[in-house]
Amino acid sequence: ILNVEQSPQSLHVQEGDSTNFTCSFPSSNFYALHWYRWETAKSPEALFVMTLNGDEKKKGRISATLNTKEGYSYLYIKGSQPEDSATYLCAFLTNFGNEKLTFGTGTRLTIIP
Protein backbone atom coordinates (compact mmCIF):
# COMPACT_ATOMS: atom_id res chain seq x y z
CA ILE A 1 0.00 0.00 0.00
CA LEU A 2 1.39 3.38 -1.04
CA ASN A 3 2.00 6.09 1.54
CA VAL A 4 0.37 9.46 1.00
CA GLU A 5 0.91 11.91 3.83
CA GLN A 6 -0.77 15.21 4.49
CA SER A 7 0.39 17.88 6.87
CA PRO A 8 -0.60 19.39 9.09
CA GLN A 9 -3.41 17.13 10.31
CA SER A 10 -5.40 20.16 11.42
CA LEU A 11 -5.12 23.88 11.14
CA HIS A 12 -6.93 26.89 12.59
CA VAL A 13 -6.72 30.07 10.55
CA GLN A 14 -8.12 33.52 11.17
CA GLU A 15 -10.65 34.72 8.63
CA GLY A 16 -8.93 36.78 5.96
CA ASP A 17 -5.55 35.10 6.40
CA SER A 18 -3.98 32.95 3.74
CA THR A 19 -2.83 29.42 4.38
CA ASN A 20 -1.30 26.39 2.74
CA PHE A 21 -0.79 22.72 3.42
CA THR A 22 1.11 19.81 1.97
CA CYS A 23 0.52 16.46 0.36
CA SER A 24 3.54 14.15 0.08
CA PHE A 25 3.54 11.07 -2.14
CA PRO A 26 6.02 8.61 -3.66
CA SER A 27 7.93 10.42 -6.39
CA SER A 28 8.43 7.27 -8.46
CA ASN A 29 5.66 5.91 -10.70
CA PHE A 30 3.63 9.10 -10.51
CA TYR A 31 0.58 9.38 -12.72
CA ALA A 32 -1.81 11.92 -11.22
CA LEU A 33 -2.72 13.73 -8.04
CA HIS A 34 -6.26 14.63 -7.01
CA TRP A 35 -7.37 17.23 -4.45
CA TYR A 36 -10.81 17.05 -2.84
CA ARG A 37 -12.64 19.27 -0.40
CA TRP A 38 -14.81 17.52 2.17
CA GLU A 39 -17.22 19.50 4.29
CA THR A 40 -18.66 17.95 7.42
CA ALA A 41 -21.80 15.88 6.75
CA LYS A 42 -21.33 16.17 2.99
CA SER A 43 -19.47 14.21 0.30
CA PRO A 44 -15.96 14.96 -0.96
CA GLU A 45 -15.96 17.34 -3.93
CA ALA A 46 -13.19 17.54 -6.49
CA LEU A 47 -10.95 20.58 -6.59
CA PHE A 48 -8.14 19.63 -8.96
CA VAL A 49 -6.62 16.78 -10.94
CA MET A 50 -2.94 17.40 -11.60
CA THR A 51 -0.68 15.39 -13.85
CA LEU A 52 2.38 17.37 -14.93
CA ASN A 53 5.42 18.36 -12.92
CA GLY A 54 5.26 22.10 -12.31
CA ASP A 55 1.50 22.12 -12.86
CA GLU A 56 -0.41 24.92 -11.19
CA LYS A 57 -4.19 24.95 -10.94
CA LYS A 58 -6.50 27.62 -9.62
CA LYS A 59 -10.16 27.78 -8.67
CA GLY A 60 -11.20 31.09 -7.18
CA ARG A 61 -9.13 31.68 -4.04
CA ILE A 62 -7.79 28.11 -3.99
CA SER A 63 -4.74 27.06 -5.95
CA ALA A 64 -2.41 24.08 -6.04
CA THR A 65 1.08 23.32 -7.24
CA LEU A 66 2.71 20.01 -8.07
CA ASN A 67 6.30 18.78 -7.83
CA THR A 68 6.45 15.19 -9.05
CA LYS A 69 10.24 14.93 -8.85
CA GLU A 70 10.31 15.51 -5.11
CA GLY A 71 6.87 14.09 -4.44
CA TYR A 72 4.77 16.88 -3.03
CA SER A 73 1.84 19.15 -3.79
CA TYR A 74 0.82 22.33 -2.01
CA LEU A 75 -2.72 23.62 -1.66
CA TYR A 76 -3.07 27.35 -1.04
CA ILE A 77 -6.10 29.26 0.14
CA LYS A 78 -5.95 33.01 -0.17
CA GLY A 79 -8.01 35.25 2.13
CA SER A 80 -9.70 32.41 4.05
CA GLN A 81 -13.45 32.58 4.54
CA PRO A 82 -15.63 30.61 6.99
CA GLU A 83 -16.99 28.53 4.11
CA ASP A 84 -13.45 27.25 3.50
CA SER A 85 -13.71 25.22 6.71
CA ALA A 86 -13.45 21.61 5.57
CA THR A 87 -11.11 18.65 5.35
CA TYR A 88 -8.86 18.77 2.30
CA LEU A 89 -7.88 15.40 0.87
CA CYS A 90 -5.25 14.53 -1.65
CA ALA A 91 -5.14 11.24 -3.55
CA PHE A 92 -2.32 9.70 -5.56
CA LEU A 93 -2.59 7.62 -8.73
CA THR A 94 0.38 5.53 -9.84
CA ASN A 95 1.23 4.34 -13.32
CA PHE A 96 1.04 0.69 -12.33
CA GLY A 97 -1.62 0.19 -14.99
CA ASN A 98 -4.57 0.23 -12.64
CA GLU A 99 -6.98 2.93 -11.54
CA LYS A 100 -6.46 2.77 -7.78
CA LEU A 101 -6.44 6.04 -5.92
CA THR A 102 -4.63 6.15 -2.58
CA PHE A 103 -5.90 8.89 -0.29
CA GLY A 104 -4.11 10.78 2.44
CA THR A 105 -5.83 11.24 5.79
CA GLY A 106 -6.52 14.90 5.09
CA THR A 107 -5.89 18.33 6.56
CA ARG A 108 -8.77 19.61 8.64
CA LEU A 109 -9.04 23.37 8.21
CA THR A 110 -11.08 25.54 10.57
CA ILE A 111 -11.53 29.23 9.80
CA ILE A 112 -12.00 31.40 12.86
CA PRO A 113 -14.36 34.34 12.21
Partner 1 sequence: EAQVTQNPRYLITVTGKKLTVTCSQNMNHEYMSWYRQDPGLGLRQIYYSMNVEVTDKGDVPEGYKVSRKEKRNFPLILESPSPNQTSLYFCASSSGDRGPLLSYNEQFFGPGTRLTVL
CB of 34 to partner 1, least distance (A): 6
Task: Tell me which residue of 89, 109, 79 sits closest to 37, measured CA to CA.
Answer: 89
Cα–Cα distance between 18 and 27 in angstroms, integer?
27
DSSP lists the bridge partners of residue 64 as 57, 75
Least distance to partner 1, CB of residue 31, Å: 6
Spatial neighbors of 60 by CB under 8 A, at least 6 apart, are: none
Q: Residue 33 CB, nearest distance to partner 1 (Å)?
A: 10
Residues interacting with partner 1, by CB under 8 A? 1, 31-32, 34, 36, 42-46, 48-49, 51, 89, 91, 93, 98-106
- Residue 3 or 14 having the CB closest to partner 1: 3
Nearer to partner 1, 6 or 85 (CB): 6
Whichever of 49 and 62 has its CB closer to partner 1, that residue is 49
Nearest to 47 by CA among 71, 21, 28: 21
